Amino acid sequence: MELEDLEDLVKARRMCRDFSEDPVDGTVVDRLLDLARRAPSAGHTQGWAFLVLEGVELTRRFWQADASPEWLASPTLPGLLNAPVIIVPWASRQAYERRYAKADKATSALGWSVPYWIVDVSFATMHILLGAQAYGLGALFFRLRPGAEEALRADFDVAGEWSAIGALALGFPAGSQGRLRPPRALRPVEEVVMRGAWRK
């Protein structure tokens, strides 16, 4: 891949909120998950896991856990419910505590000012988003509603040490690339890049 190809991929990526019902080939899903597991992680801990829900039966169980009955009866984003794949990324703080207690590290992750288990699973999730763009798929990362993590944990037997960072809907975009609203303009580079000193 040329650098220009990567630039085009990153620039083209958008969140998709309107999906067709067309299924996603399981091989493609597997490749996206393989990209996720290749993300960088502190101490190469790889303290992530992905709950993959494919097909109407499993995605319906997800929405029953994550959405209120009122929203499901009259959804503000009805095309989102068509997504044939839902991926829930989970992070394990304990995995980092175990890794950093080993002899080659011999430090503690408990005092970190940044929760790198969340940073690392976010890196991995971004790999999925970029991979989805490369495969011509739409994807939307979104937060879980309060109480949904506990419901998902109970319904899908998720071990107690794992914490969900959100969910990712995956599928083929419907309509105009699956967008339901115009994108907000990017902040200009001079507002976000500080060279040599912080501008006030």
Q: Which residues on neighbouring strands pair with residue 19, listed in sequence order?
A: 173
Tell me, yes or no, if the pTM score tops 0.85.
yes
Here the tokens at position 145 are 């509603």
CATH of 13-192, one of 3.40.109.10, 3.40.50.150, 3.30.10.20, 1.10.150.570: 3.40.109.10
Report d(CA 144, CA 110) in Å as an integer: 25
> Which one, of 12, 15, 8, lies nearest residue 178 by Cα?
15
Here the tokens at position 71 are 């929203």
Q: Which residues contact 41 (CB under 8 A, 6 or more apart)?
A: 47, 48, 116, 120, 123, 124
Q: Write the CA distances from 107 to 13, 45, 99, 101, 115, integer angstroms.
A: 38, 14, 9, 6, 15
- Contact, 128 vs 32, CB < 8 A? yes
Q: Give me the torsion for CA of 46, 2, 172, 147, rounded to 10°.
A: 30
Q: How far is CA 51 from the centre of its chain?
A: 11
Phi first, then psi: what are they for 47, rounded to 5°?
A: -85, 55
Here the tokens at position 38 are 């290749």
Question: Tens digit of pLDDT per residue, the chain (200 long)?
Answer: 688 888 998 888 999 999 999 999 999 999 999 999 999 999 999 999 999 999 999 999 999 999 999 999 999 999 999 999 999 999 999 999 999 988 888 777 767 889 999 999 999 999 999 999 999 999 999 999 999 999 999 999 999 999 999 999 999 999 766 565 667 788 899 889 999 999 87
